[in-house]
Structure 1
Amino acid sequence: MLLPRLSYRHVTVKDDTRMTFQPFETIEAGRSSRWLVTCDHATNIVPPTVNGGDLGIAPADMARHIAWDPGAAGVALRLAELLDAPLTMTRFSRLVIDPNRGEDDPTLVMRLYDGTVIPANRAVDAAEIERRLAAFWRPYDAELARLSARRRDTVFVSVHSFTPRLNGRGDRPWQIGILHAADDRLARPLIDRLRREPDLCVGENEPYGGHLRGDAIDRHAIANGLPNVLIELRNDVISTERDQIAWAERLAPILAEVLAETGL
């Protein structure tokens, strides 16, 4: 089964070079469930208005997790379809500007990531960060706000992936990690349910701890009292379209079961 070919809602942004770029894609038409699925790091695209579309690192590095979340978009596409959920996802690399960070986060524009220097970001100044915020970060943030507010009982699900290992670090054993911070109403029962799956190693706040202040879930779910969960999948287990579909089809009924049992 191939991932569906779908029509997207997008906003086209014009920047000071008079070039245009679509910073996000949304699939929404005909979908009316409580669920909202997001994918903050869906692609490794560098818009042409950012250093001519080239951050100065090798193609092999742009294909790594430092530039995007490999496999996450494919999982999110199928998961949203199965949950009858609107989906929104970025169209710019996290190395351009990270939509899962607050505007004042020092890692909003990374200069060094997992041992790789990002030449186009080394001398980035406040004016350039503001330009990238206006062109890419804020339009996506506004779309998250719009979709989160479409129903008062929205359930926010963010799909990410992580690398099996960072340079100089040990292997990460978890196929899936569930992240949460102050609001674990959905995350805690989901972790418990996934741990009943005999073939899964499930991480709680692994490979990262909880949520960052000002990140996308903090801004749009926790701040508004919406049930939420951030799902991290190890990218080697979702490296093919078939794997992405299989994981989505595994997770969708589990998510629906857990939400029903919580009574949220």
Structure 2
Amino acid sequence: MSEAYKEIDGGSLDLLIVADHASAYVPDDIDLHIDPTLLHEHIAIDIGVAEVTQALAAQLGCKAILGGVSRLVIDLNREEDAPGLLPVMSDGHAIAGNRDADLNARLTRFYHPYHRRLAAMLAQMTSPFILSLHSFTPSLASDPAQERPWEVGVLYNRDGRAARIAIPMLEAAGLVVGDQQPYSGALLNATMNRHAEANGIPYLGIEMRQDVAGSEEGQARFAAILGPILLDCKARFA
């Protein structure tokens, strides 16, 4: 198993769950010079994503790829020339160990293997559909006045086809839904721009609120709601 990613082989359905920020792992030979407790916070990991991914893969009988390292080691959901690829600040916290880090070494070690494997998994599918799964913090330390009332956000860039299908279904399931919230996929959608939109592959970009996704009850709720919606979306692109 590569340290750059983890795979889940839940079955043969042509649906791939992509979880860029599902891990808080920092290799022993990388020192970020941060308080270790921050590795349990939203700046390091998308809380609840790994658990919901695993539940959905088993429920739907599909595959998944999860980023193998913390977003503080390298952000897999950024373009290669993006300023935040190797973060030196995150929500008011200095990531001092990244100031003099070798970006090319981390690209070679983590970023490129992850994206190569993601592309290879899609290439093995006849009619792929992607779920891009993330989670967001209900409050930012750097912007405490910002209100984030949504339980789930739906993000997309130019291809909003699946979003238009899913949003009313998510609302009908009783969730408070943000269309392009808590931020717009037109601004931050690197992995889906590269693997989905550039190749005409339909996808659904989901952001779960972390205070919901962080509990077993919330994870079960998200998996139960998202499963049928994903199957419905995929069926419309068959």
- TM-score of the pair, normalised by structure 2: 0.93
Q: Contact conserved, 1:36 with 1:155, CA < 8 A, in 2?
A: yes
Q: Contact conserved, 2:137 with 2:209, CA < 8 A, in 1?
A: yes
Name which of 173, 180, 184 aligns with 1:205: 180
Q: CA deviation at 1:39?
A: 0.9
Residue equivalent to 1:161: 135
Residue equivalent to 1:177: 153
Residue equivalent to 1:33: 13
CA distance, structure 1, for counterparts of residue 223 and residue 52 of structure 2: 5
- 2:57 equivalent to 1:80: yes
Q: Which amino acid aligns with 1:229?
A: L
Q: Which amino acid aligns with 1:130?
A: N
Q: CA deviation at 1:254?
A: 1.9
Instruction: Name the SS of the counterpart of 1:110 in structure 2.
Output: coil
CA distance, structure 2, for counterparts of residue 212 and residue 132 of structure 1: 24
Q: CA deviation at 1:49?
A: 2.5
Root-mean-square deviation (Å): 1.6
CA distance, structure 1, for counterparts of residue 95 and residue 66 of structure 2: 23
CA distance, structure 2, for counterparts of residue 150 and residue 70 of structure 1: 29
CA distance, structure 1, for counterparts of residue 8 and residue 186 of structure 2: 25
CA distance, structure 2, for counterparts of residue 73 and residue 179 of structure 1: 19
Inter-CA distance 89–129: structure 2 relative to 1 (3 Å threshold): same
Q: Which amino acid aligns with 1:103?
A: E
CA distance, structure 2, for counterparts of residue 94 and residue 250 of structure 1: 27
- 2:75 equivalent to 1:98: yes
Q: Which amino acid aligns with 1:249?
A: A
Q: Which amino acid aligns with 2:122?
A: S
CA distance, structure 2, for counterparts of residue 66 and residue 156 of structure 1: 24
Name which of 223, 231, 235 aligns with 1:248: 223
Instruction: Name the SS of the counterpart of 1:186 in structure 2.
Output: helix
Q: Which amino acid aligns with 1:193?
A: M
- 2:25 equivalent to 1:48: no
CA distance, structure 1, for counterparts of residue 114 and residue 237 of structure 2: 30
**What do the CA deviations read for 1:20-69 (whole angstroms, capped 9, x no partner)?**
xx2211122x6111210111111111112223xxx111122221110110
- 2:90 equivalent to 1:130: no
Residue equivalent to 2:114: 140
Q: Contact conserved, 2:202 with 2:237, CA < 8 A, in 1?
A: no
Q: Which amino acid aligns with 1:48?
A: D
Name which of 189, 213, 222 aligns with 2:197: 222
Q: Contact conserved, 2:157 with 2:193, CA < 8 A, in 1?
A: no
CA distance, structure 1, for counterparts of residue 192 and residue 137 of structure 2: 21
CA distance, structure 1, for counterparts of residue 134 and residue 212 of structure 2: 13
Q: Which amino acid aligns with 1:246?
A: R
Q: CA deviation at 1:249?
A: 1.7
User: Sequence identity of aligned pairs in percent?
Assistant: 39
Q: Which amino acid aligns with 2:42?
A: H
Q: Which runs of 5+ in 2 are unaligned?
A: none
Inter-CA distance 214–200: structure 2 relative to 1 (3 Å threshold): closer
Q: CA deviation at 1:122?
A: 2.3
- TM-score of the pair, normalised by structure 1: 0.85
CA distance, structure 2, for counterparts of residue 112 and residue 240 of structure 1: 27
Residue equivalent to 1:189: 165
